[in-house]
Structure 1
Amino acid sequence: MIIKIDFGDDFIQYISCSTKVGRKINRIRNDFETWIFDETKNTKYWTYENCGKYCPNYDAKAIIEWLNNVRFKRGIAKAKLISNAQLSVKKKLYF
């Protein structure tokens, strides 16, 4: 399933994932946001300002990493970044 992820300011990325994951993507989005805002779990996605953590800075690669290695860590990879959505988009997420 193709999912369009709109980060605002005309920054749009597409991911491909299994239909099972795609159907649940809106429900599991809250779990991703909890993970990305947890300062202890994912330090590589945090922006630093004035010698301290400021806020998370992420794109679709972070969502893919979370899907494949945290949420659905057993089995083969569930999601990947695609550069051109030639197939029709089935879901849309806005951040």
Structure 2
Amino acid sequence: MIVKVEFMYEEDTEYISCLAKVGRNIHQLQREFDKWLYDRENKHSYWEVAGEDEEGEKIFGVCFNGKAFVYWLNNVRFNKDKKVAKLIETPNKLPKKKIRF
């Protein structure tokens, strides 16, 4: 299944080719990904220092793209030998689903 991935503040659009079981649940998976992505207990590479608060403590934000979502699907959520999703340059058919970050 092809999923169109749009980013709210960017003009970039990416496409993911995934197993049908992933595509059917893509909106629920996106919500799970968001929880994982913004959980400070998770030591992933998408954290960036966004500034400091009044006490000098670092404030963190995230910077990611479709590659991060595909990584999470393949290595965190499903964590199996078989990859369930991959980024593709140009889809050979129309996307059946669309998500927006």
TM-score by length of 1: 0.90
| 2:40 pairs with 1:34 | no
Hey, what does 1:76 align to over in structure 2?
82
CA distance in 1, matches of 2:78, 2:6: 23
* Aligned partners of 1:36 and 1:42 also within 8 Å: no
Higher helix share: 1
CA distances 1:52-87 after superposition (whole Å, capped 9, x unpaired): 242111101110011001111123000001011121
Number of residue pairs matched? 95
Moved over 4 A (4+): none
Hey, what does 1:47 align to over in structure 2?
48
Residue segments in structure 1 that go unaligned for 5+ positions in a row: none
| 2:87 pairs with 1:87 | no
Q: 1:85 to 1:53 in 2, by over 3 A?
A: farther
| 2:17 pairs with 1:16 | yes
Percent of aligned pairs with the same residue? 37
Hey, what does 1:2 align to over in structure 2?
2
- Secondary structure at 2:25 match in 1: helix
